Amino acid sequence: MYNSDFNKIKRITKNLDLETSLNSICSYLESTINGYDWVGFYFHNEIKKELELKAYSGIPTQHTKIPYGKGICGQTAESNKHMIVADVLKESNYISCNINVKSEIVVPVFIKNINVGQIDIDSNIPNRFSKIDLEFLTRINNLVSEKLLK
């Protein structure tokens, strides 16, 4: 499904540095994909045991640092597994960033099987995310991993 979007992102970020690539990816996804209402990349700070927001597009958030284990992102940091939350109000460990958010997907970024960060997407649509989104975002994260290795 998202093949043309993936190819556009690949072209857009081809010759960009990491920071510009992350910002471009966030902006493209948030402005182009229906229901991708907030898009951000968090990366690990192993010393502080927290995630740090490096790029985002959407409504500003006060959650620029998230302790491991806290919220959906913090759970993904500890589990190394993606999370798709159909209804954030039913998730006991959810950190509310915006009252309009109904669903969320978090997909880890791996380098050589080590979780170094994640893409986090909030949607104002309940049950917005599927396996198709997971596969698409995993492909995007693979592009990010390549940038991190350069």
Is the confidence at residue 143, as pLDDT, over 80?
yes
Is the confidence at residue 97, as pLDDT, over 80?
no
Domain ranges of the chain: 3-149
Encode pLDDT of 43-94 as tens digits: 999 999 999 999 999 999 999 999 999 999 999 999 999 999 999 989 877 7
Please report, as a single letter, which amino acid is at residue 136.
F
Are 36 and 120 spatial neighbours (Cβ–Cβ below 8 Å)? no
Q: Is the dihedral of CA 123, 105, 8, 3 positive or negative?
A: negative
State the DSSP code for 109.
E
CA 86 – CA 97 distance, rounded (Å) = 16
Rounded average pLDDT over 18-38:
98
The pair of structure tokens assigned to 8 is 């556009």
Query: In CATH, what class is 3-149?
Result: alpha beta
The pair of structure tokens assigned to 101 is 């958010």
**Residue 94: what pLDDT?**
79
CA 117 – CA 25 distance, rounded (Å) = 15
What pTM value is reported for the model?
0.95
